[in-house]
Amino acid sequence: MNHQRIRLGSSIVAAAFLVAAFILPSPHTKAAGGASLSISPASGSYSVGQTFTVSVMLASGGGVGVNAADGKITFDPTMLAAESISKGNSVFNLWVNDPSFSNTDGTVNFSGGSNNAYTGDAGDVFDVTFKALKAGSASLQFASADALAADGQGTSALGGTTGATFTISAAAPAPAPSSASQAAAASQGGGSSGQAAQPVSTPSSFTPAVTITSPTHPDPTKWYSNPNPSFSWKLTPDVAGVSTAFDRNPNTYPKRVSEGLISSKQYSNIGEGVWYFHVRFEDALGDWSDPMAMPVQIDLTSPLPFTLTIAPGAGISGRTTIAFNATDTVSGVDHYEVIFDGGASSTIALSDMQNGVYTAPPLLPGKHTVAIFAIDKAGNSTEADGQFQISGIGSPEITNFPATVIEQSPIVIEGVADSGANVTLDIDDSTGKTVSEGKMVADATGHWLYAVEGGLPGGRYTLVASMVTTQGAFASTTAGAPMNVLAAPFLDRFGWIIIVLLLSFIGGLVTYGFYRKKINDIHISLAKRENEDVRQKTKAVFEALREEVDDQINHMEGGAAAAQGEIKLEPENVLDAMRNALAISESTIAKEVDDVDRALNEGEEEREAKR
């Protein structure tokens, strides 16, 4: 892309005057003047299918001259079809509305001017090429028109308009030239810069299979900034001669004078506008083919200087608008390219502009530069620069977070932002690497929450929040909030192992306790049985002893013995018998007491071992 820079000059003042001049007065209050607009030629005869070019001409009428004109020309779209418009020869260099046509409405509209007054009598405003569609009479008329005097007040100076009428016939309009006229044409020489011969009325019988191409300007519908066009073709065996012409007329017939068996043509430093390369071929019998024409559109001039009106975004919106309107007097502006802050360029299509205003993408708050290039259809460009500053919008806030947390513990972070904003929270480690990122949408109250359920490894971290508003504006990021994640203590790391061991030990103790209790219960049960046995035996012993004592007392008293026929015992014998009974009782009781002691001692030893 050719981004040549064009600085502001005096033409900006002229452009501003032109805009003021086009505030036209009411048709009922126009001042009379000597200027006129006309269509040239005013008449002519053409055949169906033939194209022809007319010019809208301006006569100033003297005085201070004319610096602006506009109007609308009407035609019958069933009779004529407009094919192209050229401003290459125009006396105007500023256009509020480029000349345009509509074959649906049958109209041609224009509105242009110049920063210099035109004072001549035959100024070409623009040229229109028409194609004849059907036989009959076709007219071009001014439906409305005006011309403004260069008096600084925009005074109407138009005195009148003149239209044109053409006759369209089914046959070629002109008779075939005689041999004498052909000889006269041949005597003029074969240069392409001379006047081309008029078209013949009789179609040629020689039609070679030749195609014209241009290596420098290959697409006839496009504009080029190269003023050195070249053309080439491949000759066929039936071609014996070639004649060429190069001009602005699409209907030129090159002279019937051969330039030789040439197969290419080169032109240098031609002017701007629409040009036509014409070539026709001669066969061995001297017959000439109808001409072939290839148009070339050349624009060497960059768009006119223009300015930028910048309205920086502010507050919640954050969107910047830039108003501008560039004008190109030849091919017209094709598109714009924009560069913000020296970065990559982006294309702005004309359809992206709303009433001459471009809305920039969201930009961060701060100072910015912008460069906009107006690119015409030939690739020529003009640059306009500007600077602006976007005020910041509120930053999101981190309102709740743990300043210190144990590693691998859940972390919950909360904050506030603009309602509905897209919030991003980054958790960066000590090296600046983001180890966790959360993306949330703030609710209607602006609240947002982010949780790291699995926690983080031990270390120092920084929390940073940013947001993009619902209007697409970027907010400044929050200052980093520090957070420490501590390594878990020994018990936190291995406590479960200790707990398992303690539970196992306690379980063992409980089991052992139950076992010892069972043993003790057995010993106690045994002791109880022994004790009960002692009680029973003691009772029996004492009952036997009591009987023995009573018996011995009876023997002492003699009553019992007399009753039984026994001899009365002496006291000494009674006492000996009682001593024997007591000894037997003592031995029996001692044995039983020993059994009880033995059972109790075994239980005591078990309890001591347990301790």
In order, the DSSP letters of 93-119 are -EEEEEEEEETTTTEEEEEEEEEEEE-
Helices (H), 158-265: 179-186
DSSP character at residue 474: B
For the cut 50, the answer to whether the pLDDT of residue 409 exceeds it is yes
pTM: 0.39
Per-residue confidence (pLDDT) for residue 609, from 0 to 100: 65
Question: What is the predicted pLDDT for the residue at 75?
Answer: 96
In this predicted structure, the answer to whether residue 153 has a pLDDT above a threshold of 70 is yes
Better-scored residue on pLDDT, 200 or 73: 73
Lowest mean pLDDT among 343-352, 414-423, 441-450, 492-501: 492-501
What average pLDDT score do residues 201-212 get? 76
Residue 312 in tokens = 């920086």
pLDDT at position 24 is: 39
Task: Tell me the mean pLDDT in the region 412-437.
Answer: 88
Tens digits of per-residue pLDDT, 601-610?
766 666 666 5
Distance CA 95, CA 110 (A): 8
pLDDT for 15 beyond 60:
no
C-alpha 233/C-alpha 231 separation (Å) is 7
User: How far is CA 65 from each of CA 16, 116, 157, 184, rounded to the nearest angstrom?
Assistant: 19, 9, 9, 43
Q: What are phi and psi of 271, to 5 degrees?
A: -80, 180
- Report the distance separating Cα 62 and Cα 72, nearest Å: 24
Report the greatest alpha carbon distance in the chain. 211
465: left (phi over 0), alpha (psi -120 to 50) or beta: beta
Average pLDDT over residues 473-502: 72
Phi, psi of 263 (to 5 degrees): -125, 15
Nearest-angstrom CA–CA distance, 437 and 313? 29
pLDDT at 197 over 90: no
Separation between Cα atoms, residue 418 and residue 301, nearest integer Å: 50
At residue 555, the pLDDT reads 64
